[in-house]
Structure 1
Amino acid sequence: MKNAALALLITGGVLGCKSTTEEKEAEPVVQNGQNATQQKGLKDYYKDYFPVGVAVAPNTVEGESAELLLAHFNSMTPENVMKMGPIHPEKNRFHWEDADKIAAFAREHDLKMRGHALVWHQQAGDWIFEDENGKQVDREELLGRMKTHIDSVVSRYKGTIYAWDVVNEAISDNPDELLRKSAWLEIIGEDFIAKAFEYARAADPDAKLYYNDYNAIIPEKRDRIYKMLKSLVENDVPIDGVGIQGHWSIFGPSEEELRKALDMYSSLGLEVQITELDVSLYPWEKDQRELKPGESDEFTPELEQKQLEAYDMFFEVFRDYKDVLTGVTFWNLSDRYSWLDHYPVEGRKNYPLLFDEEFKPKNAYYEVINFEEE
């Protein structure tokens, strides 16, 4: 890594002496963790590359969290409150308050905002698949409910949300299947994906419409996602882009895998975004539910260095693909909270982001901003 030597000079989470004006601008104005506002943030370093976003909850747009957000990010994605279950908990009832709060913050501060996610096999709410007697609804009823949901949510935030994750995680993890087994697939059939995009386009013709998935860099699943996307494009389904969930780790993906995936997806004429970036300290073991014997969740200097090198490589590739990428979004603001603190191992602390638990920039942050303009 071209800046690895610099990392060895970093102690205590803050760079020591710096020689250039640009590097000095990167330092926090206040070093005690009480005020994270900086003279120059991630969004400023990457203003000629792509918007830099972050996943937020309603409390993220308050207090010191909001200060950190505004200092470093110019885009945001509601982490949970716009998913079907939270925002549409009953057939004839919507819960708008949390999503409205985030949308109002975006408008007030002129932030780009992504919508996440309209159709997903999780957090959908059982009501959408069942009638008043608890029996499974038929295809036409479910299509009608899907359309009502999409019409209602997309129309409400028209003009505020510029891009939607329309369908989320529809590709199976089983190499022998293309689409994931879900109630959407079982009741509607394979065209539930196309229908969701058609309904979203009708609800807001100006919004960018994305398919979003994880493990989208791994060759085997990448190829199946590509196959599905290619079919959508060839059949004139109104899709604009693909979201690559960047739930990665210090163990991968490799630079070769990342570049190959970006080449393949962009070859379809689709925009590409990194939608859920974090870099875990642990290998992905979905079925692990507790710490292994001898395993620790300490953020050691060795792990910090590996994470720094991973972030450095990822962002070097991102910069190389600035003509392809239309956004990079981190999944949560800082190590104070990450969904990875609870999944797959509940209570195992992870440190996957660029800001620590006190909202101070980590060593990896400086590596990400320390580059020469291409």
Structure 2
Amino acid sequence: MQRAGIRPIFAAAVVALAASGSVASVRAGEATLGSAAGSADRYFGGALDPGAFDERPYRELAATQLTSVTPENAMKWGLVEPERGEFDWKGADSLVAFAEANRQKIRGHTLVWHSQLPLWLINGAFRPDEIKDLMVAHITEEVGRYKGAIYAWDVVNEPFTDDGSWRRSIFYDAMGPDYIATALKAARAADPAAKLYVNDYNVETDGPKMQALYDLVASLKRAGAPIDGVGVQSHFAAGALPKDIQSVMEKFAGLGVDVAVTELDLRIRLPADEKALVTQAGDYASVVRACRATPRCVGVTTWGITDDRSWIPSYFSGYGAALPFDAAHRAKPAVGAMIKAFTQVAP
């Protein structure tokens, strides 16, 4: 694939977005989640679906509230290379163009994951050395395409099970734990400037899974592997946020890496009442305060921005209302609570 034409393509897309009015501006003095986070030297991000960019309310909300964007699905292996050697970059390119038009950071998600892999890879019966070569080639292709555009990559996603053991995947089965260092080195070679993360869920409280991730990052650092950050996904029911999330952030940061909240949502049992929304707002604010109190916590990203596009109802029966904005794109109490937490004078 020739990459020389990629930046001009993005530039043209940025011009087109600006002409269509999708580059939004906020009135002077009007607080947004992004501006509030910026006042604390953090970013505020959201996972976006490029397929929704033709919906003006969604597009404008994403443009005005966020200073960082993550592709919810558009950069996953199964979508970008559905057939071996045949690439579909439409969604990923659209997201990059949107972010560049709105001067937003981009967190690339995700390069190596046990899920959402193309069938040709899963069913290919490849030898271990072939799996390694395919993984490195995939990372080189995707990271190389967006070199200079992506601020940080979730290079490896969800390497552990909840009991702290290694999650079985085609990558682990082929290479053992070494697949993580191999993936990180390939990403660093493809874009030396991008920040490289390992990302997981249920690591926000001190327990076997958190300890497994901590030990992994410590071992990678000792070995000189290129690891820049830890992503804590943070999917919880409102009212169940771990009380020690700040101390966990600080523990990871103590390894000499950045920490980011990468996939935050706080689900509510439906129908959501005022009490539940207040509880949710308090938990959202607590996450922001924990990030603010941890010098190496660089930002907070929610997994989506509006309730109508949340993954929660499809996976947690009876739950929803997990995001800061409702299905009509109206701000919920969580928005004001987070803005206050970002902007209040730290103790």
> Whole-Å Cα distance in 1 between the matches of residues 221 and 68 of structure 2?
27
Q: 2:239 touches 2:280 (CA, 8 Å); kept in 1?
A: no
> Whole-Å Cα distance in 1 between the matches of residues 38 and 79 of structure 2?
33
Residue 41 of structure 1 is aligned with which of 19, 32, 56?
32
What is the match of residue 276 of structure 2? 303
Partner amino acid, structure 1, of 2:92: A
What is the match of residue 169 of structure 2? 182
Residue 47 of structure 2 is aligned with which of 55, 58, 61?
55
Q: 2:106 touches 2:152 (CA, 8 Å); kept in 1?
A: yes
- Residues 71-101 of structure 1: per-residue CA shift (max 9 Å, x gap): 1111100000101111111211111111111
> 201-210 vs 220-229, which deviates more?
220-229
- Residues 295-340 of structure 1: per-residue CA shift (max 9 Å, x gap): xx2011221121122122222222222x211121111011122100
> Whole-Å Cα distance in 2 between the matches of residues 245 and 184 of structure 1?
21
> 112-121 vs 43-52, which deviates more?
43-52
Q: 1:55 touches 1:333 (CA, 8 Å); kept in 2?
A: yes
What is the match of residue 330 of structure 1? 302
Residue 41 of structure 1 deviates from its aligned partner by 0.8
> Whole-Å Cα distance in 1 between the matches of residues 90 and 214 of structure 2?
37
What is the match of residue 18 of structure 1? none
Aligned residues: CA RMSD: 1.8
What is the match of residue 183 of structure 2? 196
What is the match of residue 31 of structure 1? none
> 98-107 vs 116-125, which deviates more?
98-107
- Residues 152-178 of structure 1: per-residue CA shift (max 9 Å, x gap): 111111111111000000012234x2x
> Whole-Å Cα distance in 2 between the matches of residues 37 and 55 of structure 1?
21
Aligned-partner SS, 1:275: strand
Residue 222 of structure 1 deviates from its aligned partner by 0.8
- Residues 320-367 of structure 1: per-residue CA shift (max 9 Å, x gap): 22x21112111101112210021132xx45011111111111122112
What is the match of residue 65 of structure 2? 72
Aligned-partner SS, 2:328: coil
> Whole-Å Cα distance in 1 between the matches of residues 242 and 265 of structure 2?
15
What is the match of residue 362 of structure 1? 332
Higher CA-based Rg: 1
- Is 2:314 aligned against 1:342? yes
Aligned-partner SS, 2:203: coil
> 165-174 vs 207-216, which deviates more?
165-174
Q: What are the within-5 Å matches in structure 2 for residues 1-374 of structure 1?
A: 39-49=30-40, 50-62=42-54, 63-131=56-124, 136-175=125-164, 177=165, 179-220=166-207, 221-255=209-243, 257-282=244-269, 297-321=270-294, 323-345=295-317, 348-371=318-341, 372-374=344-346
Q: 1:328 to 1:60 in 2, by over 3 A?
A: farther
Partner amino acid, structure 1, of 2:329: F
> Whole-Å Cα distance in 1 between the matches of residues 246 and 239 of structure 2?
16
Aligned-partner SS, 2:315: coil
Partner amino acid, structure 1, of 2:249: L
Q: 1:40 touches 1:72 (CA, 8 Å); kept in 2?
A: no
- Residues 100-141 of structure 1: per-residue CA shift (max 9 Å, x gap): 11111112221110100000000012322444xxxx211211
Q: 1:37 to 1:337 in 2, by over 3 A?
A: farther
Aligned-partner SS, 1:206: coil
Give ranges in structure 2 of 5+ residues lacking alignment. Answer: 1-23
Residue 37 of structure 1 deviates from its aligned partner by 6.4
- TM-score norm. by structure 1 comes to 0.81
> Whole-Å Cα distance in 1 between the matches of residues 200 and 181 of structure 2?
16
> Whole-Å Cα distance in 1 between the matches of residues 133 and 200 of structure 2?
25
Aligned-partner SS, 1:148: helix
Aligned length: 316
> Whole-Å Cα distance in 1 between the matches of residues 64 and 331 of structure 2?
12
Partner amino acid, structure 2, of 1:156: R
Q: 1:56 touches 1:79 (CA, 8 Å); kept in 2?
A: yes
Partner amino acid, structure 1, of 2:189: A
- TM-score norm. by structure 2 comes to 0.87
Residue 370 of structure 1 deviates from its aligned partner by 2.4
> Whole-Å Cα distance in 1 between the matches of residues 170 and 176 of structure 2?
9
> Whole-Å Cα distance in 2 between the matches of residues 244 and 270 of structure 1?
13
